A and B are shown apart, each in its own frame.
Chain A
Amino acid sequence: MSSIGTGYDLSVTTFSPDGRVFQIEYAAKAVDNSGTVIGIKCKDGIVMGVEKLIASKMMLSGSNRRIHSVHRHSGMAVAGLAADGRQIVARAKSEATNYQSVYGEPIPVKELAERVASYVHLCTLYWWLRPFGCGIILGGYDRDGPQLYMVEPSGISSRYFGAAIGKGKQAAKTEIEKLKLSEMTCREGVIEVAKIIYKVHDEAKDKAFELEMSWVCDESKQQHQKVPDDLLEEAKAAARTALEEMDAD
């Protein structure tokens, strides 16, 4: 769907004749070039996973986190320009703590998603700012149950059962649609997310990657946290086996 927007793509405050803002679309391309990020809503919580492409063998494993906790009950996985992502996470944390001090209760996930989306959209309104080059998958568990939102660089935010952004998003979405999410627990969801990420990872184009996962569910007492190490290893092993089985076919 790419087209050259010659002349109409120099500024985020310029519309093209066919009603598009090209700068925002280019920002979305930055997201499409990054590692895959998935989120799914299971019956008792949310699971998020990131395919972290390793730039250098010298990097310490576990560094360069892509999933951040925003509040006790919610977390955000970022795809695209990592530095831009840090800004958004900082803003989201600040919104969450501010809401808690004013209203005396944890910020509802819906409200948090709206505030993050507003902030991302804000940066598409002025010529002296550039749009954020990141897509956000926001998962949280509040009084109304577990909820999953996705925020695009244009500032659109929507609620999902399953969402994927980044390089392998098309393939990932197809895989997610095959899952029966309403019957799945988060424990099972973790295994499925790992399998999907391993599957959509392109061995030819990208060398190594590290899998980073987090969840917020009944088992984690509605707190957003890294998936426990033993479960993570189990998931990775299951994913590798599934991949080998597929290759063997």
Chain B
Amino acid sequence: MKTERKLEKQARTVRSGYLYILSLALSASRDTAKMDLNMDSNAPHSMGTTIIGVTYNGGVVLGADSRTSTGMYVANRASDKITQLTDNVYVCRSGSAADSQVVSDYVRYFLHQHTIQLGQPATVKVAANLIRLLSYNNKNMLETGLIVGGWDKYEGGKIFGIPLGGTLIEQPFAIGGSGSSYLYGFFDQAWKEGMTKDEAEQLVVKAVSLAIARDGASGGVVRTVVINSEGVTRNFYPGDKLQLWHEELEPQNSLLDILNSPTPEPMNI
């Protein structure tokens, strides 16, 4: 009995091994790129992403990383995920690059017409509502999470989060994208009401930098946009200038640096 079962088990292993190799051969014929170079160039461009929007005393700060990936390949390492909707309202895009661009383009168009009709700048709430209607009504086809932030003369600085299904939620701060998973605890501890502009911006840069350190789908540079009654300011923080976190290594620019150093030991931690 025991030997029988053992033999059966061996047979199963051999059979499953055989099936495994068969499946490899089959998939190889379908997408060779995937097996050979670990890259599927036919995969849709997705922005793994970390996006953040934070209100402060007088306006809002929006922040994002800059990595756009196609599978494991980084298609764009310096993308700008914070796009303009109107003079006073911007949106952080995450998820499918194409979906988020199309939604932003539609809403920019609607808001432009709305501004002309109204005779004054659109409010952040209206911009967020238009985004929400598109996201919700096309939820079967779209895959994009957005954070709308801006300033208007009635409500001041406002942040609205519009995650995947098309909910609209007004928040004092919002985080999104794959990298945001690593920031929930951080914000619970570090967020406070009524920060100054510089405090808020430093918070955003620190948060994006932490997410980049842990999330493979986020990386590159940190971009921020500050919006208040005076206008809009764009800032740029190169990746190699960001603070190093736990277990992060110093960037090595060239092997020659290692060889020319007094103690040429690669992997010198």
Number of interface residues of A (CB under 8 A): 9
Q: Which of B31-39, B128-136, B182-190, B241-249 contacts A (4 or more CB under 8 A)?
A: B128-136
Q: How far is the CB of A99 from chain B (nearest CB, A)?
A: 10
Taking a contact as CB atoms under 8 Å apart, the answer to whether A104 and B117 are in contact is: no
- Which residues of A in the span 128-160 have a Cβ within 8 Å of any Cβ on B? 143
Are A108 and B118 in touch, CB under 8 angstroms?
A: yes
**Pair A104/B114 contact, Cβ less than 8 Å:** no
Q: How far is the CA of A114 from the CA of B133 in the complex (A)?
A: 25
Residues of B close to A105: CB separation below 8 A: 123, 125-126, 129
Chain B 110-122 per-residue mask, 1 if CB under 8 angstroms from chain A, else 0 = 0000100111000
Q: Do B125 and A102 have beta carbons less than 8 Å apart? A: no
A105 to B125, CA, bound (A): 8
- State the Cβ distance, B152 to closest chain A Cβ, in Å: 10
Contacts of B168 in A (CB 8 A): 104
Task: Note all chain B residues with C-beta closer than 8 A to A110.
Answer: 118-119
Main secondary structure of the interface of A (DSSP, over half): helix
Q: Which of B206-259 contact A (CB under 8 A)?
A: none
Bound together, the chains give a CA A104 to CA B114 distance in angstroms of 13
**Complex CA–CA separation, A110 to B120 (angstroms):** 12
**Are B118 and A102 in contact (CB-based, < 8 A)?**
no
* Chain B facing A: main interface SS: helix
Interface residues of B in 148-205 (CB under 8 A from A): 154, 168
Report the Cα distance A148→B154, complex, angstroms: 21
Cβ–Cβ contact A102 & B117, under 8 A? no
Nearest-neighbour CB distance to chain B for A75, whole angstroms, equals 22
**Are B118 and A104 in contact, with the CB atoms below 8 A?**
no
Contact B154 A104 (CB under 8 A): no
Q: Which residues of A contact B128 (CB under 8 A)?
A: 104
Compute how far the CA of A108 lies from the CA of B117 in the bound complex, rounded to whole angstroms: 11
A73 to chain B, nearest CB (A): 14
Q: Which residues of A contact B114 (CB under 8 A)?
A: 103
Bound CA–CA A226/B119 (angstroms): 32
The answer to whether B123 touches A102, judged by C-beta atoms less than 8 angstroms apart, is: no
Q: Say yes or no: is A202 at the interface (Cβ < 8 Å to chain B).
A: no
Complex-state Cα separation, A105 to B155, whole angstroms: 13
Contacts of A102 in B (CB 8 A): 129-130, 133
Contact A103 B117 (CB under 8 A): no
Enumerate the 9 nearest inter-chain pairs by beta-carbon distance, A residue then B residue, closest first: A104-B129, A103-B126, A143-B154, A104-B125, A103-B129, A105-B125, A104-B126, A105-B126, A111-B118
Sample 24 A-B pairs with CB under 8 A, ordered by A number.
A102-B129, A102-B130, A102-B133, A103-B114, A103-B126, A103-B129, A103-B130, A104-B125, A104-B126, A104-B128, A104-B129, A104-B132, A104-B168, A105-B123, A105-B125, A105-B126, A105-B129, A108-B118, A110-B118, A110-B119, A111-B117, A111-B118, A114-B117, A143-B154
A103-B126, A110-B119 given; 20 more Cβ-contact pairs under 8 Å: A102-B129, A102-B130, A102-B133, A103-B114, A103-B129, A103-B130, A104-B125, A104-B126, A104-B128, A104-B129, A104-B132, A104-B168, A105-B123, A105-B125, A105-B126, A105-B129, A110-B118, A111-B117, A111-B118, A114-B117
Interface residues of B (CB under 8 A from A): 114, 117-119, 123, 125-126, 128-130, 132-133, 154, 168
